[in-house]
Structure 1
Amino acid sequence: MIKQERMKVVAQQSIARHIFELTVEGGLVDEMAEPGQFVHVRVADSFEPLLRRPISVASIDKENNRFTMIYRAEGRGTQILADKKAGDEIDVLGPLGHGFPVEQAEKKAFLIGGGIGVPPLYELAKQLNSRGIETVHILGFESKQAIFYEEQFKALGDTHIATVDGSHGTEGFVTHILNELPHDFDTYFSCGPTAMLEAVQWAYPQKKGFLSYEQRMGCGIGACFACVCRTTKSETDYIKVCSDGPVFPAGVVIS
């Protein structure tokens, strides 16, 4: 069930260059279940900025009615959000969309993320681990200064890092790491830039995969049609990333 709630900010900190970790508390957490869902946050109590910001859910703590978001502060809205302090309140709508189907993994899963597409994979890894699924994490960042949650992922499974400039881990992209790893897994889950998702699908055409797409959104609930994408079903068939996704089986979305 989707809820709208003014949630209390519990903590916020910078965890990498332009990257913030924000934890909030409230009853809306009761509705969260699927890793890969997102929330729509109103960053100010005024009408400027007008639109909410879609932010993925990085971690769910139902015991304490809290969840954690990780986002990049690069525009005016997210920069306003980055100024929030413990004790402040923010208006949150969610949980939204369809997340990763954890039940599709059998024994071993690859989790492949790029940049700000990495956060939802953390909750996914936790839930897969709780089901006895071995997870391997392949994460890509621009540079060492942009890396976050490396140790948290390592605590959940084998973790590989790629940086574009080679300042940490493997130089290049996640695909450079994928080329070196054995294909001994049954399912992959990926979130990140469209070009990365396309490369991952190309690398594993015979594997079962699920991709989370990043798309500009207006309403977040499927009403404004700002995030439509074509599908492989027909030339006139479209899906809405916010309400039909953001997670789709590999091979469904035409980039």
Structure 2
Amino acid sequence: MAKRIEDFTVTGNHRLTKDIFLLQIASSDKLPPLLPGQFIQVRVDDSPSTFLRRPFSIHDVDYEKNSIKILVQIAGKGTGKLSTLKEGERINIIYPLGNSFTQPDTGEKILLVGGGCGIAPLLFLAKDLRSRGFAPEILLGFRNSERLIEYDEYAAVGPVYVTTEDGSRGEKGFVTNHS
């Protein structure tokens, strides 16, 4: 699959927590086939200290709107700048990059596990699996209930189990220790 370098238009930038945003971008062209597990690299303009592109997992895709969603956690100047983008602004990305997840055999039980912003590629994967007849179960982990993101989107695809380190939502503990 050939990579593309293209300008996208910001169609939404929504704060999910104090430092995590859901950025939706749209192409004026038809999107190529994208695979769960692939990522994009975003150029951050007007920021001399951020000359390197920032990689982001593809969180979700809407082929009818030619749009891609990514989760952005503010970790420095580059991601801070991305969190301030307004609807209608343009950003340049390279995509699709990377490989997809290994595809399961028919009839296999599927459990998708992720924590924090590491859940980003799992929504696209869960939707893809569901469209192919699988019934994925989803296990999401967060520090606390205030950091819980995208629950309803995952719940629309399959059963969701939640862990929080402080026990404020779901089972107490780390996602890797879920019973």
TM-score class normalised by the smaller sequence: over 0.9
CA RMSD of aligned residues (A): 1.6
Aligned to 2:53: 52
Following superposition, the deviation at residue 30 of structure 1 comes to: 1.8
C-alpha change, 1:145 and 1:130, in structure 2 (3 Å) is same
More relative contact order, 1 or 2 (CA 8 Å, 6+ apart): 2
Contact 1:29–1:66 (CA under 8 A) maintained in structure 2: no
Contact 2:72–2:83 (CA under 8 A) maintained in structure 1: no
Following superposition, the deviation at residue 104 of structure 1 comes to: 4.1
Q: What residue identity is the alignment partner of 1:145? A: E
Following superposition, the deviation at residue 27 of structure 1 comes to: 5.1
1-side partners of 2:40 and 2:51: how far apart? 16
Q: What residue identity is the alignment partner of 1:76? A: K
Following superposition, the deviation at residue 45 of structure 1 comes to: 4.3
C-alpha change, 1:170 and 1:103, in structure 2 (3 Å) is closer
Aligned to 2:90: 89
Q: State how many pairs are aligned.
A: 178
Contact 1:29–1:65 (CA under 8 A) maintained in structure 2: yes
TM-score under structure 2 length normalisation: 0.93
Structure number, greater radius of gyration: 1
Aligned to 1:159: 160
TM-score under structure 1 length normalisation: 0.66
SS of aligned partner of 1:20: strand
Aligned to 2:132: 131
Contact 1:107–1:134 (CA under 8 A) maintained in structure 2: no
Aligned to 1:243: none
The C-alpha deviation readout for 1:110-166, integer Å capped at 9, x for no partner, is 000011110110000000000110111011111111110111111111111111121
Seq. identity, %: 35
Q: What residue identity is the alignment partner of 1:38? A: F
Which has a greater percent of helix?
Answer: 1
SS of aligned partner of 2:94: strand
2-side partners of 1:147 and 1:91: how far apart? 29
Q: What residue identity is the alignment partner of 2:18? A: R
Contact 1:14–1:21 (CA under 8 A) maintained in structure 2: yes
